[in-house]
Amino acid sequence: MATDVHRPVTGHAAVRVEGLTRSFDDRAVIDDLRLDVRQGEFVALLGRSGCGKSTLLRILAGLDRDIEGTVLVPRRKAVAFQSPRLMPWKKVWRNVLLGLPGKPGRGVADQALDEVGLGHRADAWPKTLSGGEAQRASLARALVREPDLLLLDEPFGALDALTRIKAQRLVGELWQRRGCAVLLVTHDVEEAVLLADRVLVMDDGVIAHEQPIDLDRPRDITDPRFAELRAQLLERLGVDTAAEAA
Amino acid sequence: MSISHAPPSKSGPDISDIPGKDAPLELDPLVPTSSRRTRVPRWLRRTTGPVVLVLLWQVLSATGVLTSDVLASPGRIAQVGSDLIADGSLASAMGTSLQRVAAGLLLGTLVGTGLALVSGLFRIGEDLVDAPVQMLRTVPFVGLIPLFIIWFGIGEAPKIAIITLGVTFPLYLNVYAGIRGVDSQLIEAGESLGLSRWGLVRHVVLPGALPGALTGLRYSLGIAWLALVFAEQVNADSGIGFLMVQARDFLRTDVIVVCLIVYAFLGLLADFVVRSLERLLLQWRPTFTGR
A223-232, B8-17, B272-281, B282-291: lowest mean pLDDT where?
B8-17
Residue B104 has pLDDT above 90, yes or no: yes
ipTM: 0.84
Contact A87 B195 (CB under 8 A): no
Mean per-residue pLDDT for B138-153?
A: 87
CA distance B195 to chain A (A): 5
- Residue A147: closest CA among chain B residues belongs to which residue? B193
**Which of A80-84, A218-222, B63-67, B72-76 is modeled with the greatest confidence?**
A80-84
SS3 at position B92: helix
Where exactly are the structural domains of chain B? 73-281
CA distance A169 to chain B (A): 24
Establish if A130 touches chain B: CB-CB under 8 angstroms.
no
Residue A5 has pLDDT above 50, yes or no: no
Residue B2 has pLDDT above 50, yes or no: no
Confidence of residue B11 (pLDDT cuts 50, 70, 90): very low
Contact A63 B192 (CB under 8 A): yes
Question: Which of B186, B208, B284 shows the shortest C-beta gap to A85?
Answer: B186
Half-sphere exposure of B163 (CA within 13 A, CB side): 26
Question: Which of B191, B195, B285 shows the shortest C-beta gap to A63?
Answer: B191
Residue A36 has pLDDT above 80, yes or no: yes
Partners of residue A81 in chain B, C-beta under 8 Å? 185, 189
Confidence of residue B237 (pLDDT cuts 50, 70, 90): confident
**How many other C-beta atoms lie within 10 A of the C-beta of residue A195?**
24
Establish if B188 touches chain A: CB-CB under 8 angstroms.
yes
- How far is residue B73 CA from its own chain's centroid? 28
- Bridge-based pairing of strands A149-153 and A181-185 is parallel
Residue B10 has pLDDT above 90, yes or no: no
d(Cα A216, Cα A213) in Å, to the nearest integer?
9
Contact A61 B203 (CB under 8 A): no
Q: Is A126:A86 a contact under the CB 8 Å cutoff?
A: yes
> Could you give the strand order of the β-sheet that contains A149-153, starting from the edge strand earlier in sequence?
A77-80, A149-153, A181-185, A42-47, A198-203, A206-212
Residue B183 has pLDDT above 60, yes or no: yes
Residue type, B43: W
Q: Is B100:B231 a contact under the CB 8 Å cutoff?
A: yes
Mean per-residue pLDDT for A134-148?
A: 94
A24-38, B12-26, B38-52, B187-201: lowest mean pLDDT where?
B12-26
Mean per-residue pLDDT for A190-210?
A: 93
E-assigned strand segments in B122-276: none
Establish if B285 touches chain A: CB-CB under 8 angstroms.
yes
Residue B193 has pLDDT above 50, yes or no: yes
pLDDT score, position A246: 43
Interface test with A, best of B192, B201, B278 (most A CBs within 10 A): B192
Establish if A62 touches chain B: CB-CB under 8 angstroms.
yes
Average pLDDT of chain A, as a whole number: 89
pLDDT score, position A8: 52
Interface test with B, best of A85, A139, A141, A183 (most B CBs within 10 A): A85
pLDDT score, position A243: 52
Say whether the peptide bond before residue B41 is cis (omega within 30 degrees of 0): no
Interface of A with B in 95-114 (CB under 8 A): 98-101
Residue B240 has pLDDT above 50, yes or no: yes
- Please write the tens of the pLDDT for every residue from B19-45: 566 788 888 888 777 766 667 888 888
pLDDT score, position B41: 84
Establish if A145 touches chain B: CB-CB under 8 angstroms.
yes
Residues in chain A: 246
Give the angle B253-B255-B261 at the CA atoms, nearest 5°.
100
pLDDT score, position B1: 43
Instruction: State whether CATH 1.10.3720.10 applies to domain B73-281.
Output: yes
Percent of chain B with pLDDT over 70: 90
Residue scoring higher pLDDT (B289 or B284): B284
Confidence of residue A184 (pLDDT cuts 50, 70, 90): very high
Establish if B202 touches chain A: CB-CB under 8 angstroms.
no
pLDDT score, position A10: 62
Q: Which residues contact B142 (CB under 8 A, 6 or more apart)?
A: B162, B227, B230
Percent of chain A with pLDDT over 70: 93
Instruction: Work out how many CB contacts closer than 8 A connect A with B.
Output: 54
Contact B193 A99 (CB under 8 A): yes
Partners of residue A98 in chain B, C-beta under 8 Å? 190, 193, 195, 203
Average pLDDT of chain B, as a whole number: 86
Establish if B204 touches chain A: CB-CB under 8 angstroms.
yes
Mean per-residue pLDDT for B183-193?
A: 93
Contact A101 B194 (CB under 8 A): yes
Establish if A40 touches chain B: CB-CB under 8 angstroms.
no
pLDDT score, position A1: 39
pLDDT score, position B170: 94
Establish if B133 touches chain A: CB-CB under 8 angstroms.
no
Establish if A88 touches chain B: CB-CB under 8 angstroms.
yes
Mean per-residue pLDDT for B80-99?
A: 91
pLDDT score, position B167: 94
pLDDT score, position A242: 58
Partners of residue A87 in chain B, C-beta under 8 Å? 186, 189-190, 203-204, 207
